[in-house]
Every structure is written in structure tokens, then in C-alpha cells.
Amino acid sequence: MLKLAVTGAAGRMGRRIVALACESGDFEVAAAMEAPGNSLLGADVGELAGIGSLGVKITEQPGAGCDVMIDFSLPAGTEKWAKYCREAKLPLVVGTTGLSDAQKQMLQETAQETAVMLGANMSLGVNLLFKLVGEVAKNLGSGYDLEVIETHHRFKRDAPSGTALELARQMALAKDWPFPDCLTHGREGKNALREEKTIGMHAVRAGDEIGDHRVLFSALGETVELHHRAHSRDTFVRGALRAAKWISDKQPGMYSMADVLGL
């Protein structure tokens, strides 16, 4: 059984990671971390996750002896945990979005010392969608306009979502368009006509929507649409746990969810 460290353990994703990790039988939750000053420091993470006491308190730092870490925190938190995992040689699964180029570079440096899996989205369906959008963009040719529309809950901080950006990146690669320069973020004004060789990007924040991504390929006369909707955060959690189990014995390097899923 793998000893799991969970960051952002008091958050929505963190609590579900704890609950489903214990349910899986593959993991023992050995450490649960939150940012300094969090009001839930010292709480039993099992009780917070709704599965009863685990005897594991939420702390600022993990203890020794963990086998793998899952990080769904904020970019500053990911930067902190990347440094920790690099020094501890601890495999790291990162689901945090909104990372800067410098923070992504830090993860690359961490991957020289330990295994790192960075995923824009942990869902099997979304990772298959990443592959499909590139194939569709390439095969439909130049007569189709490309648009990405993503919807998330009102509390999501970064926009567009990491998933939406990766969908656009895959299409740009297939089209040999410069990314992210080819993106048009929303439209406004009295002369906002679509430009050639661009991908429209639209972010909606509303209510408690878990995650909805639509990709449109539209020409004069027809529209092809690829659509993924997450019904529950559990789909991302199960993917993250699958990644954590997969990466726990891997050599140092930067891995993707496509590697985990064999795509």
C-alpha cells in the first residue's frame, strides 16, 4: 500500500482525494497539508473528508516516509511542493492549473531529480479529447473556424482553464499555428470580425459547474462539435490516484496523463 501525501487537503478536491484514496485500498493517507494560517490546520483529515477519523492531522509540512504526493493547490503552493519533492526525491502528481512559465520551468527542474506528472486534466475522457481535437483540426482543413468554450464554477480563479488551453494547443500544433499567439480571448467592439488562423477562446464562470468544455469546428454549411462535461470531481480524483500509483516507481522525468493512460 502506497503512503500518500495530499496538498490542499482541506479543499474540495483534497477532501475527495483523501476519501477515494482510502476507498481504493491502494493508498494509505500518510500526510495532509494546507497553507500556513489555514483555519483547518490540526483537524483530522478523515473527518473533514466525511469518512471518519484517520488519525492524520492537517499540517503545514508532511512527515517522512511518504511514497508519492498529489498536489491540487494554488500555483504558489505547487512551487513550494515542487521544491520539497525535488529535495526529498518524492514523486509528484500536479493537477494545479494557472501555473506561470517560471513555475512550469521549476517543475521541469524538479523532474531532473524525481518523477513529475503534470496534467491539465486528469479525466480519461478529456485526455482522449486532447488527442481527438488535433486529428479533427488537421483533417477538416482550412475552411473551418475553431472555437473553445469552457464553463466552470464561480470559485475558479484562472481563466481560461488549463484544459481549454491544452485543447487549443493541440489544435494549434495540428494546424502549425503559433501558440498562444493564435488565441482570441472573447470578442467585443463594433468591428470584431473573426481573423484567419485564430482559435476563439471563451471562459464562463457560473454557479457550481464542475467543468464543461466544448470545441467547435464550424464552416459555411455545417458544424462539428466535440463536448466533454464532468458530472463530478471524482472523475479527476480517480485519474489523479491512477497517476499517483503509476508514477510511484518511475525514474526521474516529466510525464503526462497521456503517458499514464497509454495514449
Residues designated catalytic: 152, 156
User: In whole angstroms, how large is the CA radius of gyration of the chain?
Assistant: 19
C-alpha cell at 96: 494545479
Helices (H), the chain: 12-24, 45-48, 75-88, 101-110, 124-140, 162-175, 234-247, 257-261
Exposed / middle / buried, residue 87 (Cβ in 10 Å: 0-12, 13-18, 19+):
exposed
Amino acid at 220: L
Helix, strand, or coil (residue 249): coil
Q: What's the rounded Cα separation, in Å, for the pair 197 and 146?
A: 9
- Between CA 85 and CA 130 the distance in angstroms is 28
Cβ–Cβ < 8 Å for 195, 184: yes
In 20-78 the beta strands, taken as DSSP E runs, fall at 27-33, 58-59, 68-71
CA–CA distance, 153 with 137 (Å, rounded to integer)? 28
